[in-house]
Structure formats: structure tokens, C-alpha cells
């Protein structure tokens, strides 16, 4: 990986005003991969002003023109897909097999999806004597996390551009390198100067400058509840539009007539995707008490197949956690779980055999977890699965909804209609029935403390617009 020494502002690589740099660590080796500039509030001001200056002309472009720019961006990203996958595998620790398919592949699908969505325009709506139109929200500040560092940017960038907004992006300081691959693609695609801008840096400086800047019209944030609450508080001072995609503690409910082996296998894979560092991870597995011990045995067998390894090895299914701080956090939760009565079925806090460096931890399954226990209520963000028994369907629903979060989940049953009826009652923004596949054009977001607003597809496009009623 090469060091980056510039910001992307007003269509050009631009020297930062400050002198600070951020070192990006390889979590598998604990060595420095590269450095990027540490942006300042003054850098944010330059980027926002560039976005503001570019907004009128960009907002005036047609849907078809914006669709064509998105197609060019898709082509430029597609040409970098292998480099993107290796970059994310190196800075996040995502196994290359997952980084190629999801970390690099999903953003391509998102950008292509928006290019297609707006290609033929988006019609206005008539309501009585009113013409209801959607207009771009304005200048968008996008503050994004490290766990899916390109997807979480493109899930904001693509709909914002499609809607006619200009944007300033702050990638996570933990994994900012792939954002530079994206800016290279933006530059190659020939987007007008100022439409897309990049300022890496730390949240308390760059993020807060973006959230409070008077020329920013909307803030789109993905990250923790604590940080999201802070962003919303700051944005409220100037009454900005705010979209928040926050945490999750999703339940995977396996009703008593379900195919237990399949449900457990898919559930374990979902919980441990990207080392468990996924906001939608099904980290609570709910199983009927009559099948509980069998489910634990199955979960142990599948979890033991997630052997930690080098993320650049194509056979690796479980890479390191992203940082020492994250490793310590996950270990702390496992210890807390045990102290509150949980049983370690497999895994635990010990360093996996063969690793004298890197932030590795074994895939862990906890049994005998009480639904109110810390490990059943708080987002761990690591490969830790809590298995909880239930006595009947009513109790399963009560446990599934016993969370301050409401982002995702799953339900399994032999009767699909029964599963759908159950899914309708779970207070969560999305839920899979019998392993239903992720749909990048469906709305994505959460209830309760999982956030405000929706991303993806038409619903994500609408998030970056303002409604106007024109009376005729």
C-alpha cells in the first residue's frame, strides 16, 4: 500500500492545511500499511464550499445525465475491483474471499442499481391540484465506518449523486485507504469539480466540523449509537436533515418445525461474517428448548469451521478483528458473559494457536444466555454468538423484540406463511425468512436505536431529496 498525502477537493488532489498524518494498521500483522492526511476543520470548510459552489449546476443536470455519470463511476470501480478487495482485506482484515464478493462486489451493484433506477427519470406526482416534486437536499456530509468501508460510502454517495446532491465524505480513520481508490475512480469517471470531495480525519475534528457547518444541508452517518447521537445533536443546531444507520443486535429465530441444521448453519455464517463486525449480524440465536442442546452441538461444529487465518489466504473464513481496541472489547464481553452465567461452548478469549501477532480471536458460541444478559443486549461487534432457548412462539417473539435495537434478523419455519406472520411482528427494519437473500434495492435501516431513515434503492434515493408541493 502506498502513502497518500492529499485530500480530494474541488475535483483535484489538494494538499491538506494541517501537518498531521494518520497511520493505517494491518490488523493481521500489526504493521503500518500506509498513512493518510489528518484533515482539519479548515479542510472541511474548503471541501464544503467546493460542494456548495458545484451544487446548482449538478442539481440542474437531468436524471439521464446523472445516470451516465454513475455508469462511468461503476466502470471505473469495476476496473479496480481486485485492488479494492485486497485493500480492504489488508486494512480491515476481511478474508479475501469475502472482500472480493461483498466488500468490493456490493458497491458495484449499488452504483449500477442507481444508474439504472434513474436512467428513465423519476416522475413527479399529482395530488389533487398539486404537483409534488422531489428536489435534491443540497450539500451532503457523509460520515462512514470502517467495517464495510467502501459499501457504506457508496450506499450514500450513489443515491446522493442520483438525487442531484453534492457530497463531502469522511471515511473512518481506521480504514481510509479504500476511499482513495474510490476517489481515483471518481476522478477517472470525470464527475464535475466539487461534486464529490474527500476529507479523512478524526470524528471529533472532521466529523464535528461537517455536522456543524452552516453550508451542509444533510448529514448521513453510519456508526455507533453514541457517535450517531452526537452527530444528531450537533446537526440539530442548524436544523439539518439527518439520516442515521446505527447498531444492531439481531435475532435469528428458529421455530420448532424449522430445518434445524440449515437454520443453524446459515445463522452461524451470518453471525461471523466479517469477523462478526457487521451491524446486521444475527448475534442472538433463538431456539426452541426441545432442540436447544442439539442446536448448540450444531453451532459448535459450524463455528469450529471458522478457523482464524491470514485474510489474504483465499481459504480463510475468519480474519483478525480490526484493532487491538476491538479485540480487547470482544474479550471483555466474553468475560462478562461468563460472569453472568453463560457457558462457553466453543472459542473464548484465548489467543488462537499459531498466532503471535495480529488481533485474532476464535469464533465463540455462548450457551445458557439469559435474554437480559449483557451479551444478549449489547452489540459486541466480534465473532460471538449467544444462543437463547424459548418455550413457545409467543416467548420467541418477546425475546426477539427485547432489544433497544431493531435493524435486522431472521426467522425459520417449515411453513413459510407462519414465518412471514412472525416476521411481521418483529420490530426491525429488515428480516429474512428461511434464509432469504439480501436485496440491494430494498430499503435498509432500523427501528428504535438502530437509526433514522433508510438507505438503498428508491427509498435511499428519496432520503436525499426534499419534497415540494406546487399548487396549480
- Assess whether 408 and 459 both reside in one domain: no
Residue 175 sits in the same domain as residue 60: yes
* pLDDT bracket for residue 76 (50, 70, 90): very high
Q: What are phi and psi of 123, to 5 degrees?
A: -70, 150
Confidence of residue 1 (pLDDT cuts 50, 70, 90): confident
Same domain, 426 and 381: yes
Pairing of strands 21-26, 31-37: antiparallel
Q: Is residue 2 part of a domain?
A: no
Number of domains within the chain? 2
CATH number, domain with residue 421: 3.40.309.10
Q: How far is CA 442 from CA 104, 392, 437, in A?
A: 19, 31, 11
Query: What pLDDT, on a 0 to 100 scale, did the predictor assign at position 341?
Result: 97
Same domain, 83 and 224: yes
Q: Is the pLDDT of residue 162 over 90?
A: yes
Question: Residue 259's pLDDT is what?
Answer: 97
Over the Cα atoms of the chain, what is R_g?
A: 22
Q: Looking at the structure, do residues 147 and 201 belong to the same domain, yes or no?
A: yes
What does the pLDDT average to over 108-115? 98
Q: Which residues contact 402 (CB under 8 A, 6 or more apart)?
A: 371, 372
CATH code for the domain of 183: 3.40.605.10
Is there a domain that residue 103 lies in? yes
Parallel, antiparallel or unpaired: strands 343-346 and 12-14: unpaired
Residue 381 has pLDDT above 90, yes or no: yes
| Diameter over CA atoms, the chain | 73
**Which domain does 157 fall in, by range?**
7-246+450-471
Question: What span, in angstroms and rounded, lies between the C-alpha atoms of 216 and 126?
Answer: 30
Identify the CA nearest to 380 among candidates 189, 224, 211: 224
Q: What is the mean pLDDT of the chain?
A: 97
Q: Give domain status of residue 444, yes or no.
A: no
The reported pLDDT for the residue numbered 463 is 97
- Are 324 and 420 in the same domain? yes
Residues 356 and 432 in one domain: yes
Distance CA(244)–CA(222), nearest Å, equals 6
Residue 317 counted as domain residue: yes
Catalytic residues: 245, 279
412 and 386 share a domain?
Answer: yes
**Residue 64: is its pLDDT beyond 90?**
yes
* Residue 216 domain-assigned (yes or no): yes
In a domain, 191, yes or no: yes
DSSP state of 354: T
- Mean pLDDT across 402-409: 98
Q: Is residue 1 part of a domain?
A: no
What per-residue confidence (pLDDT) applies to 443?
97
The owner of cell 459552489 is 53
Q: Give the model's pLDDT for residue 240.
A: 97
Domain membership of residue 166 (yes or no) is: yes
Q: Examine the domain organization and report whether 239 and 312 are in the same domain.
A: no
Determine how β-strand 166-170 pairs with β-strand 196-198. parallel
Q: Please tell me the predicted confidence (pLDDT) of residue 75.
A: 98
Q: Residue 362: its pLDDT value, please? A: 98
> Does one domain contain both 66 and 206?
yes
Amino acid at each position: 500500500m502506498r502513502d497518500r498525502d492529499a485530500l480530494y477537493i474541488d475535483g483535484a488532489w489538494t494538499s491538506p492545511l494541517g501537518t498531521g498524518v494518520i497511520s493505517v494498521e494491518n490488523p493481521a500483522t500489526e504493521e503500518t500499511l500506509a498513512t493518510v492526511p489528518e484533515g482539519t476543520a479548515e479542510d472541511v470548510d474548503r471541501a464544503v464550499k467546493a460542494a456548495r459552489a458545484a451544487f446548482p449546476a449538478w442539481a440542474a443536470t437531468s436524471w439521464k445525465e446523472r445516470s451516465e455519470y454513475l455508469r462511468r463511476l461503476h466502470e471505473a470501480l469495476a476496473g479496480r475491483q481486485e485492488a479494492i478487495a485486497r485493500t480492504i482485506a489488508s486494512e480491515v482484515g476481511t478474508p479475501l474471499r469475502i472482500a472480493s464478493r461483498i466488500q468490493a462486489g456490493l458497491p458495484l451493484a449499488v452504483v449500477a442499481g442507481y444508474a439504472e433506477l434513474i436512467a428513465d427519470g423519476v416522475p413527479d406526482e399529482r395530488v389533487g391540484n398539486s404537483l409534488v416534486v422531489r428536489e435534491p437536499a443540497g450539500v451532503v456530509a457523509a460520515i462512514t465506518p470502517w467495517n464495510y468501508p467502501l459499501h457504506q460510502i457508496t450506499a450514500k454517495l450513489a443515491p446522493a449523486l442520483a438525487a442531484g446532491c453534492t457530497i463531502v465524505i469522511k471515511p473512518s480513520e481506521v480504514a481510509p485507504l479504500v476511499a482513495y481508490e474510490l476517489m481515483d475512480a471518481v476522478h477517472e469517471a470525470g464527475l464535475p469539480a466539487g461534486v464529490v470531495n474527500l476529507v479523512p480525519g478524526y470524528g471529533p475534528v472532521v466529523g464535528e466540523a461537517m455536522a456543524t457547518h452552516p453550508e451542509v444541508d444533510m448529514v448521513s452517518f453510519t456508526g455507533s449509537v453514541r457517535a450517531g447521537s452526537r452527530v444528531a445533536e450537533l446537526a440539530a443546531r442548524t436544523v439539518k436533515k439527518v439520516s442515521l444507520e446505527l447498531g444492531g443486535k439481531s435475532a435469528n429465530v428458529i421455530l420448532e418445525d424449522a430445518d434445524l441444521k440449515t437454520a443453524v448453519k446459515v445463522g452461524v455464517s451470518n453471525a461471523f461474517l466479517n469477523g462478526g463486525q457487521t451491524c446486521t449480524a444475527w448475534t442472538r440465536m433463538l431456539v426452541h428448548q426441545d432442540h436447544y442442546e442439539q442446536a448448540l452441538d450444531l453451532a459448535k461444529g459450524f463455528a469450529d469451521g471458522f478457523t482464524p487465518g491470514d485474510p489474504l489466504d483465499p481459504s480463510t473464513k475468519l480474519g483478525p478483528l480490526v484493532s487491538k481496541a476491538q479485540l480487547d472489547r470482544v474479550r471483555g464481553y466474553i468475560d462478562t458473559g461468563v460472569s453472568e452465567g453463560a457457558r462457553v461452548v466453543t472459542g473464548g478469549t484465548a489467543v488462537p494457536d499459531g498466532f503471535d501477532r495480529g488481533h485474532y480471536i476464535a469464533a465463540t458460541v455462548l450457551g445458557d444466555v439469559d435474554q437480559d444478559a449483557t451479551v444478549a443486549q449489547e452489540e459486541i461487534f466480534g465473532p460471538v454468538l449467544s444462543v437463547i432457548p424459548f418455550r413457545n412462539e409467543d416467548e420467541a417473539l418477546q425475546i426477539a423484540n427485547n432489544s433497544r435495537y431493531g435493524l435486522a434478523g431472521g426467522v425459520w419455519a417449515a411453513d413459510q406463511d407462519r414465518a412471514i406472520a412472525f416476521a411481521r411482528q418483529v420490530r426491525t427494519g429488515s428480516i429474512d425468512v428461511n434464509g432469504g437473500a439480501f436485496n440491494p434495492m430494498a430499503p435498509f435501516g432500523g427501528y428504535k436505536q438502530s437509526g433514522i431513515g433508510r438507505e438503498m434503492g428508491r427509498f435511499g434515493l428519496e432520503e436525499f431529496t426534499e419534497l415540494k408541493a406546487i399548487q396549480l
